[in-house]
Amino acid sequence: MKTGPAGPGTRAPGHGPVAGGLRFTAELIAWVGSAWALWPHSIPLAIGAVVPQQR
């Protein structure tokens, strides 16, 4: 398995600013969309999907 240089200024594949922004946007849409989809069926489940859980 070949790996690239591990010095300063190098990033792993898929960890650039554009990829990070797209991933953040996708995660945000999924987070809001899950609550939106659950709301008509179960309000407690919809709230549970949005509120972070303590571990």
Contact yes or no for 49/38 (Cβ under 8 A): yes
Lowest mean pLDDT among 10-19, 26-35, 36-45: 10-19
Coil, strand, or helix at residue 29? helix
Q: What does pTM read for this prediction?
A: 0.59
Give the 3-state DSSP-derived string for 30-44, with helices as H, strands as E and coil as C: HHHHHHHHHCCCCHH
Q: What is the mean pLDDT of residues 30-49?
A: 89
pLDDT over threshold 80, residue 54: no
Overall average pLDDT of the 17-38 stretch? 90
Distance from C-alpha of 13 to C-alpha of 10, rounded to nearest angstrom: 9
Two tokens, residue 47? 């709230």
| H/E stretch holding 19 | helix 17-38
